[in-house]
Amino acid sequence: MSRGGRLGLYLFLVPVLLWLLLLIVIPHIDLLVMSFRGEDDLGEPVWTLANYINFFGDSIYWLTFARTAVYALLVTFLTFVVTFPVAFYITKVARVRYGGLLLILLLMPFWVSELVRVYGWMILLRESGVINHFLLSLGLLDRPVEFLYNDATMIMGLVYTSMLFMAVPLISSLEGMDDSLIEAAHDLGASRFTIFFRVVIPYIAPGITSGSIVVFMLTLGNYLTPNLLGGKNSLWFTEQIYNEFIASFNWNQGAAFGFLLLLLSSAFIWIGLKLSRQTLGRTLT
């Protein structure tokens, strides 16, 4: 590589490395150190495992942690189920000239912030909202029903806010798939079920893995949607972290909870890559 090429590479890498170091690596190291700090009886700082022991000592913490993990997996699966038909229609069924328009229509709701989109669902689902007004005017309900503040609504909101991050990898993978593979399988007598599981799914496995990783991590760390749509009964682990940092001012405990959440997301990525027999590099390309 020439001197000019090396200089250009350095100019490109330095901002990226500084961004990773200053905004990700150093803050996480600081939080890791903080998670092992505490105070003795005299108020002096000491090294301790008490912040992690407290997690396992109080059932509300680890039950909320487990509940968040299970619901995040459920949201990831439902997001794929909802998104795959949309991605397949855009890439394999719709005409090429309409594909770009459909993709824009898919992206348009995500041009506004998550807060606005979640409040939109609240306007639709609250007791005085649009859906209740419509059902009451048709005589289908005698009195308004509160559709908010339950697990089903929270999961629906999480699926909605995560759809784009599953759709883009699926569309990218399906666009690279030759239609002749599906046609050949159909000509050989394969059923739609067989084509889906033996031809389509193996081919787009990197896109599924990439989308699932992003959706799971974003759902696991989501605070806004569970808090607004799930209400006080949401019991999402990020709310526990928020309470430790902001409400209790216990940064050491909050740092420990944050790292437990980081370990969970890292474990999911590793397990997902092993089960799908993918590599991290392949899913990112």
Tokens of 242: 């928020």
Q: Is residue 23 part of a domain?
A: no
- The pLDDT of residue 269: 82
Q: Is the pLDDT of residue 239 over 70?
A: yes
Cα angle at 145 between 141 and 146, to 5 degrees? 170
Q: Is the pLDDT of residue 241 over 60?
A: yes
How many whole angstroms separate alpha carbon 262 and alpha carbon 268? 10
Which residues are 38's β-sheet partners? 46
Q: Is residue 134 part of a domain?
A: yes
- The pLDDT of residue 68: 93
Element (H, E) at 72: helix 59-88
| Closest C-alpha among 228, 229, 199, 110 to residue 163 | 110
Phi, psi of 39 (to 5 degrees): -130, 145
Structural domain that includes position 205: 58-283
Q: Is residue 233 part of a domain?
A: yes
Q: Which amino acid is at 51?
A: N
Q: Is residue 53 part of a domain?
A: no
Tokens of 135: 């059902």
Q: Is residue 8 part of a domain?
A: no
- The pLDDT of residue 285: 57
Residue with the bigger pLDDT between 38 and 219: it is: 219
- The pLDDT of residue 74: 96
| Closest C-alpha among 60, 39, 62, 43 to residue 52 | 62
Tokens of 216: 């799971």
Q: What confidence category does residue 94 fall into, taking pLDDT thresholds of 50, 70 and 90?
A: confident
Q: What confidence category does residue 1 fall into, taking pLDDT thresholds of 50, 70 and 90?
A: low
Q: How many domains does the chain have?
A: 1
Element (H, E) at 153: helix 151-175
Q: What confidence category does residue 156 fall into, taking pLDDT thresholds of 50, 70 and 90?
A: very high
**What percentage of residues in the chain have a pLDDT greater than 90?**
26
- The pLDDT of residue 86: 92
How many whole angstroms separate alpha carbon 124 and alpha carbon 116? 13
pLDDT 10s digits, 177-218: 888 888 888 888 888 889 888 889 988 988 998 899 999 999
- The pLDDT of residue 180: 86
- State pTM to two decimals: 0.87
Q: Is residue 254 part of a domain?
A: yes
- The pLDDT of residue 81: 95
- The pLDDT of residue 112: 85
What is the chain's length? 285
Q: What is the DSSP letter of 150?
A: S
Q: Is residue 235 part of a domain?
A: yes
- The pLDDT of residue 185: 87
- Determine the average pLDDT of the residues in 230-255: 86
The CATH number for 113's domain is 1.10.3720.10
Tokens of 97: 């000239």
- The pLDDT of residue 283: 57
Residue with the bigger pLDDT between 98 and 245: it is: 245
- Determine the average pLDDT of the residues in 34-55: 84
- The pLDDT of residue 247: 84
- The pLDDT of residue 191: 87
CB atoms inside a 10 Å sphere around CB 218? 20
Q: Is residue 36 part of a domain?
A: no
